[in-house]
Structure formats: structure tokens, C-alpha cells
A and B are shown apart, each in its own frame.
Chain A
Amino acid sequence: MKRNILTVIIGAVLILIFGLLLFVFQVRQSEVAVVTTFGKPVRDLTEPGAYFKWPWPVQKVYKFDQRTQNFEDKFSENLTSDSITLLTSVYVGWKISDAQSFFPKFAGGSMSAAQRMLESTLRSAKSAVISKHTLSELVNADPKALQFDGIESEIEQAVQVQLQTNNCGIELEFLGFKKIGLPESVTQAVFARMTSDRQRLINQFQYEGEAEAQKIKSAAERQASEVVNNAVADATRIRGEGEAEAAKVLPVFQQNPELANFLLRIDALQQSLNQRSTLIFDERTPPFDLFTGIPASSTSQGH
């Protein structure tokens, strides 16, 4: 009877497998599933794993991709509040947040149908938001005036609100500008302005270079002469100090002005009669006054 038991086991296993295939289904990570009973959504399964269901035709399972989907709209023209035509394209990351609402909205839960809906929502939200802002809020060197981020999140908000009122089970994860441009004819005007800006810069650099260099040079000269003048003043002060110091010694000469005077004259004489001078003198000049005291004959002899 061994064979019979084996047969029964194998049969049971087969029936089990068949039953599992009928009654159990899997939800993968990254998927979300909706179970319908006679076509009516009854359960939402967002966690991955194996789940039980009644076999067809009682219950049916619809699976959707729960991952973040990328979508970008067409590069399209919008008018800013300061009447500048701007071409923009934005990208969004969206995903199915509520599969039970998502699934009946779009035929068979089609992703492309959802994207078409998203595109029109995005288009109207974008033009509404851009028309409220000026170009200088989109491009600006001043971080306080720049509202690039703000404009992006405004569009995101507007789309989000629209999606919620439509109750289509989609939510935005993020939104940002992908491309920004100007109409072709405007670029030519921008080029003309940029050229004149450059020309102005060239002139400015030329002028600035010469003027700055001149300024530096004259400042240096002024500073140099100041330094020298200060030094001259210092020198005068130093000499004055010397004279003051010398003045302290002067009372010594007061003891006998006559002698002081005499010594000064002697010194002057000595200094003036140094080499390379010619001295003409007569017999009254000492020590030649000796000649006068000697008889004339001797004088002629000595001559």
C-alpha cells in the first residue's frame, strides 16, 4: 500500500499548489494592489507580502507601480506679470498615493492616462503661478528677492491642491524647473544688451586701470615726501636738542667772556689759515713785529 500513500501525498501537494495559486497572491515591494469583490474595490494593499483572496470571479487583484514616476511637461510659453514671455519646462516626481481612488479614475489604472491628466493640471497651474511673478523674482543676485524656490513650490502646491480636489489618488513628490528660455527674437535683443554691457566694462577697466594707477603713484609720492619732510623735521629737532644740550655748557664761558672771545678768534684764525691760502702780512703782524725792533741795516740784511 506504500504506493497508494505516495500517490495521495503527491496528489495533495498538487492540489495545495493549485489552491495556493487560486487563493494567494503576492504584492512586490514597489507595488500596491487593489482587491475588488465583484468589481467593487474593497482592499488596498501597500505593504509587500503574500495575501489571501477569493478566486476569480469573486475577487480580482489589480496591481500598480507605487514607485516615484518622472514626468516633464512640454517647453511652453507663459507671460510673467511684467509681460515678459518666458519659456519653461518643469519636471515632477509623482506617485500613486491612494490606489483605491486611482484605479477607478483612469481606464484600467493606466499610467499614461494619469500622466495626460497631470500634464493639463500642470499646464494651468504653471501659467497661473508664473503670471503672478516677475522675471526678477526668478533670476536675481539678491537672495532675498530671488523666489526661484518659492515659485516652484507654488506651482507644486497648486497642482497638489488640484489633484486632491479631483481625488485621483496621485500625489506629487517634487517639482522643479527643467528648462527656462526666452523667445528666439528676444535672445537677439539680449545679445545686443550684453554687447553694450561688455563695451561698458571694457571702458570701465581701461579708465579704472589708469585712474587707479595714477592714484596709487601720486599717493606713493605724497607719502614719500611726507616721510622725507618728517625726517627733515626730525633732523631739525635733533639738532635743536644738540644746541639745547650745548647751551647747558655755555655758562662755563660766561666766567670770562674776554677769554672765550679770544679763543674763538684764535680758532677762527687757525681754521681760515690752513693750507692753500696766501698770507700777506707786514711787520706789525706778530711774530714779525720782531723786525721793527731791529736796526734798519739788519732789516735789509734779513730781507
Chain B
Amino acid sequence: MSDEHDHHEHEHSAPVAADDAGSQALAEALGSSFAIVKIVMGLMVVAFFCSGFFTVGPQEKAVILRFGKPLGEGSKALLTAGLHWSLPYPIDEVVRIPITEIQKISSDNGWYLTTPEAELSGEEMPAGLSLNPAVDGYAITADRNIIHTRATLYYHIDQPIDFVFNFASASNTVQNALDNALLFTAAKFNVDDILTRDVAGFREAVQERVSELVDQAQLGIVIDQCEVQSIPPRQLQGVFSMVTTARENRNKLLNDAHSYENQVLNQSGAQATSITNAAAAERGRYVQAITAEAKRFGDLLPQYQVNSDLFRQQTFVQAMTQAFTNVQDKIFLPQRADGKPRELRLMLNREPQQPKPAANP
């Protein structure tokens, strides 16, 4: 444009050369200002093309839309961290997508009315007699109990193109899925499972449902972690904790019973072993003794057969000799000469150490 004007200027000024100083001065002024305009336009052209440079940070990816269409297919369309260049705006458009950072969504649709500040300071609104559905959220369990439950979901974006271009508000969709997962899972679990017996199972089921829903919706995200917190209604906290105490008491009783069981069984086992051992030992002794007896019998039999009377006498006297050496007190009581029986009195003392049996001749 400036060239055109410039050109016209020259054509006009040629026939009226040095006509008038005023118009010449005007022409010069116009000429120099057109020169300035030219330089500025040249700079603008340069700036126009340089504006195509842009950087992508480490926490994001970018997609160039050329005439509205992503440049490249699938993951190839994603530009990683670094310096990139695109054509100026009407042709190319750069869309930045946060990707590596972990995203976080919390669901408190199932929680009573509170704020994080009130919760931290412990100045929550006191619980009323009932729950107002407009403000207090809760979930209904499989056994039709009411509980409060809330969850926090951590995820990262796996398919940024789906996440950004297919959803008007993808994070809202994740939020909905999390709200739904809590309701759905609570509807399958009994209250005691959610609160005490199977807390981990409940959490896993919630996470499973969320990932099912986000996969169905093709959100292009991957769930990293899901935290779930569940409590009984504050109105019933006392009675719920009493149940916990009762359960603990029961467990203690059972534990005590089991340790008693162990003790009794161990004792009886030991007793049984000693009884059978004793019997075995006795048996051994008995058999041994009788065998020895038989052997002695076998040894003695020939002698006895030679002269039985002599053998009897000998053996008896031998035995008596031994008996007399062993016996503590020996009393010889000869027959009365008249052959009448003697009268004998014994005084027995309870203490056998000093038995002083008196003989009355």
C-alpha cells in the first residue's frame, strides 16, 4: 500500500518540480513518514512470523490445530516440553494441555454439611435429630442404613486429546463418576462392612466402579489412587462405638478361652504321655523281672531235683539270714516249757522311729 502511495506521489510531483517550496516541504514530510511506516510494517511482518515460536513446559503438552484439526495423529500430535513453532493464528492454533501433574477430585455429596475449616478447628455444626436432604449428604447402604462417606480421587491424564476435545468439562465428568461410585458401592455393602469389617474392600469397590465409569465414558484418564472415608451418622456415634466395644470384649473373651484351651490341651497331652510312658516302663520292668525269674528258676531246677529237701533248707536259711541282718528289731520268744501259749502285749507307737515293743515274758 505504502509503495502505491509513494509511486503516485512521484508522478504528481514530477510535472510541478520546484513549483512551490511549501508543497515540496510537504512532499518531503510525507516521504519521510512513509519511510517510517514502511520500517514499522517490515518489523510487524517479522514479529508476525516470530510470534509462531512458543515453549511447552515440563508439566504440559501442546497440540497444534491447523485449520482446527490436530496436526498429526494420536499421540504423535502431542508436542513435548521445549521450543516449537507454528504458523500464525488464523492458520494454526496452539492448545496447551496439563498432563504430568496428578489431578485431584473430591466427592462430598455423601457428607454432612461442614467446611474444611470447621472440621479442622473442631467447630462443626452440632448434629440435629434428622438429616436435611437439601444440605446433608449421605449414602444408603445395602441393609438400608444411613452413613456418611466421602472420597478423594487422584488421577492423571493418559489420552489428553480425548480429555480436552471430547468433554466440555472433563473434570466434572470425573466428579460425577466418583459421586456415583460411592452411591453404587454403598448400595451393595452392609453398614458394618463399610465401617469396620471390610473397609479396604469397600475402597477397592469404589475405585473399581470409578475406573469402570471413566473407561465407559472414554475420558482418557488413569486412576492412581482413591481414598475413601466413611463414618456412621454423628447422631448415632455413641451407639456405634458401643458396638465396637462389645465386639472387642467378645474377642477378648474368645482369646482368653482359646489360651485356656491351649493350656488344658497341652497339660493333658503331657499327662497322657507320662501315663503311657509309665505303663511302658512298668511293662518293661515286669517282663524283665519275670524273665529273670524264669532264668533263675531254670538255673535252680537241676539243684532242686538233686535234693529237694536240702535245697529248701539251704535256701530258706539263706533267706532268713539275710532277713535277720536287715530287720531292725528281733525278738526271740521261746516256747514255754509247759507248752502253754504265751501272752504277748505290743505297745505301738505312732512314730515308727522308736518302736519299743515291750515283751512280757
Contact = CB atoms under 8 A, between A and B. Distances in A.
Interface of A: 3-4, 6-7, 10, 26-31, 47-50, 65, 67-70, 72, 75, 87, 91, 93, 135, 138-141, 143, 146, 148-149, 173-174, 176-185, 187-188, 190-191, 194-195, 197-199, 201-202, 205-206, 208-210, 212-214, 216-217, 219-221, 223-225, 227-228, 230-232, 234-236, 238-239, 241-243, 245-246, 249, 252-253, 255-256, 258-260, 262-263, 266, 269-270, 273-288, 291, 299
Contact of A252 (B142, B216, B297): B297
Nearest to A88: B183
Interface residues of B, number: 127
A139 B320 contact: no
A50 B67 contact: yes
Interface stretch (B15-23, B54-62, B78-86, B233-241): B233-241
A52 B223 CA distance: 43
Interface in B152-198: 161, 164-169, 172-173, 176-177, 179-180, 183-184, 186-191
A282 B282 contact: no
Given A195-B239, A230-B272, A239-B279, A263 B300 contact: yes
Interface in B295-320: 296-298, 300-301, 304-305, 308, 312-313, 315-317, 319-320
A64 to B, nearest CB: 11
B249 A93 contact: no
B346 to A, nearest CB: 9
List 7 A-B pairs, minimum CB-CB distance, nearest first: A242-B283, A209-B250, A235-B279, A231-B272, A224-B268, A28-B68, A50-B67
Interface of B: 1, 3-4, 7, 65, 67-70, 90, 93, 109, 129-134, 137-146, 161, 164-169, 172-173, 176-177, 179-180, 183-184, 186-191, 213, 216-217, 233, 235-236, 239-240, 242-243, 246-247, 249-254, 256-258, 260-261, 264-265, 267-269, 271-273, 275-276, 278-280, 282-284, 286-287, 290-291, 293-294, 296-298, 300-301, 304-305, 308, 312-313, 315-317, 319-324, 326-335, 344, 352, 355, 357
A279 B330 contact: yes
Given A197-B145, A228-B271, A75 B134 contact: yes
A277 B333 CA distance: 16
B133 A181 contact: yes
Contact of A249 (B69, B179, B294, B317): B294
Nearest to B171: A70
A139 B68 contact: no
Given A256-B301, A274-B326, 8 more contacts: A27-B68, A48-B69, A195-B239, A212-B250, A220-B261, A238-B282, A259-B308, A282-B334
Quick one: which of A93, A219, A263 has the most chain B CB within 10 A?
A93
A278 B355 contact: yes
9 contacts: A48-B69, A176-B180, A177-B183, A223-B264, A224-B265, A266-B316, A277-B328, A279-B331, A287-B321
A263 B328 CA distance: 24
A188 B321 CA distance: 104
Contact of A191 (B233, B297, B328): B233
A282 B332 contact: yes
A91 B317 contact: no
- Where chain A touches its partner, the secondary structure class is helix
A139 B247 CA distance: 26
Contacts of B328: 275-278
A26 B290 CA distance: 119
A286 B324 CA distance: 11
Contacts of A174: 213, 216-217
Nearest to B260: A217
B249 A205 contact: yes
A244 to B, nearest CB: 10
Given A173-B217, A174-B213, A279-B324, A231 B271 contact: yes
A68 B183 contact: no
Contact of A262 (B129, B315, B327, B332): B315
A91 B236 contact: no
A286 B276 contact: no
A232 B242 CA distance: 49
B265 A227 contact: yes
Contact of A286 (B269, B290, B320): B320
A27 B293 CA distance: 120
Contact of B282 (A140, A176, A216, A239): A239
Nearest to A185: B130
A187 B250 contact: no
B190 A141 contact: yes
B143 A141 contact: yes
A217 B216 contact: no
Contacts of A205: 243, 246-247, 249-250
